[in-house]
Amino acid sequence: MEPLVIDAKGMHYRELNQIIRDKVAEGYRHFILHNVNGQRYIGAGIMEDVFIEIHGVAGNDLGVFMKRGTIIVYDDAQDGVGNTMEGTKIVVHGMAGDVCGYGMRGGKLHILRDIGYRTGIHMKTYKDMVPVIIVGGKAGDFFGEYMAGGILILLNLWDDDDRPIVGSYLGTGMHGGVMYIRGEVDPHNLGKEVGIKELDEKDFLLLKKLLKEYCEDFKDYGLSVDEIMKSPFTKLVPVSTRPYGKIYAY
Amino acid sequence: MLYKSLSSFPVFEVERDYDKCIVCGCCVQQCTFDATYYLPYAKKVITDEHKCVGCKRCEAMCPTGAIKVRAVTNEFKHNAYWDARTIRDIYKQADQGGVILTGGGNDRRFRVYWDHLLIDACQVTNPSIDPLREPMELRTFLGRKPDALEVEYNEKGEPELKTKIAPNLVAEIPVIFAPMSYGALNLNMHKAMAAAADAMGTYWNTGEGSLHRDLYKYGHCTIVQVASGRFGVSAEYLKVAAAAEIKIGQGAKPGIGGHLPGEKVDEEISKTRMIPVGTDALSPAPHHDIYSIEDLRQLIYAIKEATNYEKPVSVKIAAVHNVAAIASGIARAGADIIVLDGFRGGTGASPAIVRDYVGIPVEIAVAVVDQRLREEGIRNWVSIIAAGGIRNSADVIKAIALGADAVYIGTSALLAVGCTLCHKCYTGRCAWGITTNDPHIAKRLNPDIAAERLINLLKGWAHEMKEMLGLMGINAIESLKGNRLRLRAIGLTKEEMDILGVLPAGEGI
């Protein structure tokens, strides 16, 4: 079926999303949205294998509860990208806001530039579902807080301001999953449940595989996996899978 | 140094009548806390009393009635200030240096407002109604009601409703099984609640541990919960349910999160919660994407978008001091149902200090929230569910008269299937097979028998509620809602009566 082109100019999110849901029910799978300007919940709860292209800034909770499919945003995205998402891939050709990937248990977020606070909170792994967030720029505080699974990669490719790569309370309450940060992390910023580990061969293979896909998604920006991999990474893992196991008296 | 070990002061004593005991070993088999064992050289069964939790399983199962489990009442010198529990807790913390855990609901001696409220009846004028011979309606609609109804006439001149009615839950009895997660409870209990809710035309709530695949067939009578851990929350989970509920807080532990220890996360729980076997299931205290009413609105509408605006969205909060203003915010955030969970509400595991001293009674919370929403003219926007310590049908009637639309029952439902309130839910060793996921012990709870007992309980309450409505001369539960003139207070202060909005006994209208 032909892609469905929607001009979202001045449309309330409710109207826009209703059209998408109705058209998905009719069998449409490819959507091209123009003039998107902060409309929320695009793709919310869609279980079909859709392909949504968004021109303009996507609003909060992009792809919330989505099961599969792909979303590409040719601009920035606001807060809550990939909230409680199950398996979609979201590519953002710009920045993304706060609490992205909260409770995400599958799928991928590829963000070209910076991301806000509280990224990947309570991300979790289940069997072959391993959520991945790759951020090209820098991140704010509470990166990977309560992280229970999955992979967080922070690249700092652009380094276009004085801020540190990542903010404070990095991985506070982390009890699963792994983070790779390209560059050094000030131990002062680490949550107390996180430990720094050396990368081994497996880590490099994994990074290479994930970054290859990332670079392909952003091929217009001249990114190269080898260039990116030249800089050292810091690997962060939880100290314990039971951080709060010993605080009780029986 | 003088050291007192905890085992010096058991809480329970187990009396065994050795004339009756046939040394069958039943009590040894039944005790899941390893308190009872066989002593071969004496050919006797004895009890290690300091391990006894007072669940009375051995007493109930002993075929000859040889066992009596009794609370030790004089373990320390009588002291009206330093009671035995306080003393023992200090010993325990001095031993281990940790947070004292407990299960169940607050058992401390605070005023029970239900027991200070009396129900009105008709005499001579406005005669009472006999529910055995006249129609009596308990059906309750839960969800947003329109501000006004608009009617238009079609070409044939027939009236048609123009106002779009928001989705509502329809409960045939205003009693719903409270959110208790799969993990805190086992699957047998979830099966029993689902089957009983289905049979009685009411609902049950999954709690925050998601919904087992086997129970998707009960989706039409299931309220699914979305909590901060987002365990097993998916589009499918939201779509299969009758309603979704955002859990902000729990009456037993307001302001703190949940923690299902890794050893409880077995294969089936792992599948349902969608987390690996053996990992801790941590529910942070706040939803990290909710820091304001606006953020709450965002999650409410995310759920509404994902379910095509076909299902009501509920928000559950613990009853806390500023509950009326918070509830007003929740109503304005777009919730269709608000659940107020009072401080008597139960828990699978909570620090005892939080369970015992945080929050306020649900009686007061319901009264102040109903009042506030009425004053603001938005009471019809939401339904109110009262939760946390509803013990009998009179509590239900009083809750509704104070302004609730329906109630949740948790502890009452557990009692119906055998719980004896030993409050050891957090150990995962429940001898009655309710709050354990040990497959061997969980088999003690037969889901079919448990469902039948829950159905019996609801049927009994339904009969009683109809009687009470009838004696008040009311023939539909809707007419009782917020009708505080049908309540009178006894033994309360003026301030308490003002807050509850009830008159003292003896004062007419």
Region B343-367: what's the mean pLDDT?
96
- CATH code of A197's domain: 2.160.20.60
Q: What residues make up the domain containing A207? A: 94-238
Q: Are B431 and B417 in contact (CB under 8 A)?
A: no
Identify which has the larger pLDDT, B246 or B287: B246
Domains of chain B, with CATH numbers? 12-98 (3.30.70.20), 170-504 (3.20.20.70)
Chain B hits for A247, Cβ within 8 Å: 98-99
Mean per-residue pLDDT of chain B: 95
Confidence of residue B332 (pLDDT cuts 50, 70, 90): very high
User: C-alpha angle B375/B376/B380, rounded to 5°?
Assistant: 95
Q: Characterise B140 by phi-psi region: left (phi > 0), alpha (psi -120 to 50), beta (else).
A: beta
Span B373-426, pLDDT tens digits = 999 999 999 999 999 999 999 999 999 999 999 999 999 999 999 999 999 999
B170 and A CB contact within 8 Å = no
Query: Quick one: pLDDT at residue B412?
Result: 98
A81 and B CB contact within 8 Å = no
Region B47-73: what's the mean pLDDT?
95
The whole-angstrom separation of Cα B360 and Cα B326 is 14
- The residue with tokens 């490719």 is A157
Query: Quick one: pLDDT at residue B1?
Result: 47
In this structure, is residue A220 part of a structural domain?
yes
Query: Quick one: pLDDT at residue B125?
Result: 85
Span A26-78, pLDDT tens digits = 999 999 999 999 999 999 999 999 999 999 999 999 999 999 999 999 999 99
* Closest to B495 in 3D by CA, of B180, B113, B229: B113
**Residue B100 β-bridge partners:** A249
Contact B288 A243 (CB under 8 A): no
Mean per-residue pLDDT of chain A: 94
Region B63-91: what's the mean pLDDT?
91
Span A172-202, pLDDT tens digits = 989 899 999 999 988 888 888 899 999 999 9
Per-residue DSSP letters for B357-417?
HSS--HHHHHHHHHHHHHHTT-GGG-EEEEES---SHHHHHHHHHHT-SEEEESHHHHHHT
Query: Quick one: pLDDT at residue A239?
Result: 85
Q: Which amino acid is at B315?
A: V
In this structure, is residue A228 part of a structural domain?
yes
Question: What ipTM was assigned to the predicted interfaces of this complex?
Answer: 0.95
> Across chain A, which distance is largest between two alpha carbons, in Å?
64
* Closest to B466 in 3D by CA, of B176, B199, B135, B140: B135
Contact B280 A121 (CB under 8 A): no
Percentage of chain B modeled with pLDDT above 70: 99
* Closest to B165 in 3D by CA, of B142, B190, B199: B142
* Closest to B389 in 3D by CA, of B404, B407, B369: B407
> Across chain B, which distance is largest between two alpha carbons, in Å?
95
Region A135-154: what's the mean pLDDT?
95
Minimum mean pLDDT range among A200-209, A240-249, B256-265, B301-310: A240-249
Minimum mean pLDDT range among A67-81, B279-293, B314-328: B279-293
A113 and B CB contact within 8 Å = no
In this structure, is residue A78 part of a structural domain?
no
Identify which has the larger pLDDT, B278 or B439: B439
In this structure, is residue A188 part of a structural domain?
yes
The whole-angstrom separation of Cα B44 and Cα B318 is 49
Q: Is the pLDDT of residue B122 over 60?
A: yes
At A14, is the secondary structure helix, strand, or coil? Answer: helix
Query: Quick one: pLDDT at residue A243?
Result: 67
**Portion 177-236 of B in contact with A at CB < 8 A:** 226, 228-230, 233-236
In this structure, is residue A37 part of a structural domain?
no
In this structure, is residue A65 part of a structural domain?
no
Q: Is the pLDDT of residue B3 over 70?
A: no
Query: Quick one: pLDDT at residue B7?
Result: 61
Q: Give A179→chain B minimum CA distance, Å.
A: 18
Contact A84 B95 (CB under 8 A): no
* Closest to B5 in 3D by CA, of B116, B95, B131: B95
Chain B hits for A118, Cβ within 8 Å: 288-289
In this structure, is residue A99 part of a structural domain?
yes
Confidence of residue B264 (pLDDT cuts 50, 70, 90): confident
In this structure, is residue A121 part of a structural domain?
yes
- Number of structural domains (chain A) is 1
What is the 3-class SS of B8-73, one letter each residue?
HCCCEEEEECCCCCCCCCHHHHHCCCCCEEEECCCCEEEECHHHCCCCCHHHHHCCCCCEEEEECC
Contact A21 B93 (CB under 8 A): no
Nearest to A99 among B93, B235, B289 (CB): B289
